[in-house]
Amino acid sequence: MSIVIPTFNESANVAELLRRIDATMGSQGWEAVFVDDDSPDGTAAAVRAIACIDQRVRCVQRIGRRGLSSACIEGMLASAAPVIAVMDADLQHDESILPTMLARIDQGADVVVATRYAQGGSTGEWDASRKSMSLWATRMSRLILKQPVSDPMSGFFMLRRDVLEGCVHELSAMGFKILLDLLASSRRELRIAELPYVFRDRFAGESKLDSMVVWEYGMLLLDKTIGRFVPVRFLMFSLIGGLGVFVHMAVLTAALKGFGLDFTVAQTVATLLSMVFNFALNNTLTYRDRRLAGWAWLRGLASFVVACGVGAVANIGISTWLYEHDTRWVLAAIAGILIGAVWNYAVTQLYTWGKKRR
Ligand code: GDD
Ligand code: MN
């Protein structure tokens, strides 16, 4: 069995977690694959220090990437074990039920979910708002789930390798909810076993869950529903582009009326500022998992402005051509905008937030 452990700033938890896994698993074969997103606290080094003396431990270190789900997927793919467990590094997941989970797999389960929402399980010391948010998210998940599961939000579960292989190409790999992603992506009916446990307090460090997980969860739900027809990132990108029009108009009005600039100057300022606005918002929302920071942010902005400049030329060229060939002006404009949007999306995805820039 391989235990995949996503980490971000968990250096103080690594040794204790491995000690406890070793204590519960005893002589049953296991390995641990840590997937660390280049934590500034040196988690990867802490893992490797142990890996030097314990061959069951490995570390996959990802650079310029973030994301719990994608980390889990890459960890699962980095192992050849027939059974894979996923658990957090902060000791909130009760490792003592690992052998029972494994027994359920041996008895024929495809997936074993460690659940907080069944008899004997609990969320432990959560405040009311976190509890209600979790319950609300669980309810929403029924939109995309094919089978009822009491805790599809769980970050603690085990599965057979063939379950992963059956759906790995369909995974959205967005945000925090990897189990839900797996369950919703699987095309065949799964034998799901559930095992209650009590969610503990964090051992050391702090939670990475912030208000953005709500947004990421929304992206996952959208991707699993309409994602087959339109890429969610394109939707987000277009939505933000739409907002950019309002920013443009506001800046333009201020520049014209407030500062008395002449139209060309005002329009240029408005265009540039709305581009910065679009870039910044896409960087934090649409491409949160590949977010650029520091100098890379500025380089990204520059490539974004160039790409969108070319997009604008394409937009104007095509709509003008259509207009001159007897297309109604509204249709000609919409065609231009659509082509410009697709261009901007495709090019910035590749050059602004693509692998080359990191
Ligand atoms: N590689 C990587 N990249 N790991 C990450 C990232 C990331 O961007 N964000 C968080 N992690 C790691 C953390 O280091 C930790 O080991 C684990 O993922 C869970 O993160 P926490 O910050 O501890 O999340 P939580 O405790 O609030 O919520 C967890 O438990 C819930 C109940 O099982 C998550 O697993 C939730 O998805 C889950 O619903
Ligand atoms: Mn946690």
Domain containing 15 — which CATH number? 3.90.550.10
Residue 356 lies inside a defined structural domain of this protein: no
Spatial contact of 14 and 34, defined as CB atoms under 8 Å apart: yes
Looking at the structure, tell me whether residues 78 and 119 fall in a common domain: yes
Task: Quote the number of domains for the chain.
Answer: 2
Spatial contact of 36 and 62, defined as CB atoms under 8 Å apart: yes
Looking at the structure, tell me whether residues 154 and 257 fall in a common domain: no
Output the residue whose Cα is nearest ligand 1's atom 9.
68
Residue 357 lies inside a defined structural domain of this protein: no
Ligand 1 atom nearest to 134, measured from its CA: 39
Looking at the structure, tell me whether residues 161 and 303 fall in a common domain: no
Residue type, 273: L
Q: What is the DSSP letter of 254?
A: I
Residue 297 lies inside a defined structural domain of this protein: yes
Residue type, 170: E
| Half-sphere exposure for 252 (CA within 13 Å, toward CB) | 13
Q: Which of 4, 8, 141, 291 to mutate to test the pocket of ligand 1 (most atoms within 8 A of CB)?
A: 8
Helix (H, G, I), strand (E, B) or coil at 291: coil
Cα separation, 13 vs 20, in Å, equals 11
Looking at the structure, tell me whether residues 209 and 135 fall in a common domain: yes
For 199: left if phi > 0, alpha if psi spans -120 to 50, otherwise beta; the answer is beta
Regarding the beta carbon of 176 and ligand 1, being less than 6 Å apart is answered yes
H helix or E strand, kind and range, residue 70: helix 68-77
Ligand 1 atom nearest to 177, measured from its CA: 37
Regarding the beta carbon of 316 and ligand 1, being less than 6 Å apart is answered no
Regarding the beta carbon of 10 and ligand 1, being less than 6 Å apart is answered yes
Ligand nearest to C-alpha 213: 1
Output the residue whose Cα is nearest ligand 1's atom 34.
155
The answer to pTM > 0.85 is: yes
Take residue 354 and report the two structure tokens written for it. 């693509």
What is the mean pLDDT of each successive set of 10 residues along the chain, which is 358 residues long? Answer: 97 97 91 97 97 96 93 97 97 96 97 87 75 86 90 95 96 93 94 94 86 87 91 93 93 92 89 95 93 94 95 90 89 90 94 71
Spatial contact of 44 and 38, defined as CB atoms under 8 Å apart: yes
Regarding the beta carbon of 156 and ligand 1, being less than 6 Å apart is answered yes
Looking at the structure, tell me whether residues 216 and 129 fall in a common domain: yes
Question: How many A from CA of 95 to the centre of ligand 2?
Answer: 13
Regarding the beta carbon of 37 and ligand 1, being less than 6 Å apart is answered yes
Looking at the structure, tell me whether residues 206 and 238 fall in a common domain: no
Residue 41: closest CA among 90, 106, 77: 90
Regarding the beta carbon of 87 and ligand 1, being less than 6 Å apart is answered no
Looking at the structure, tell me whether residues 30 and 46 fall in a common domain: yes
Take residue 192 and report the two structure tokens written for it. 């799901």
Looking at the structure, tell me whether residues 72 and 175 fall in a common domain: yes
Domain that holds residue 72: 2-226
Regarding the beta carbon of 291 and ligand 1, being less than 6 Å apart is answered no
Question: How many A from CA of 8 to the centre of ligand 2?
Answer: 11
Q: Which of 208, 211, 213, 287 to mutate to test the pocket of ligand 1 (most atoms within 8 A of CB)?
A: 208
Looking at the structure, tell me whether residues 252 and 312 fall in a common domain: yes
Spatial contact of 72 and 2, defined as CB atoms under 8 Å apart: no
Looking at the structure, tell me whether residues 180 and 81 fall in a common domain: yes
Looking at the structure, tell me whether residues 274 and 175 fall in a common domain: no
Q: Collect residues with CB below 5 Å from ion ligand 2.
A: 88, 90, 92
Residue 358 lies inside a defined structural domain of this protein: no
Q: What interhelical angle do 329-351 and 295-324 show, nearest 10?
A: 150
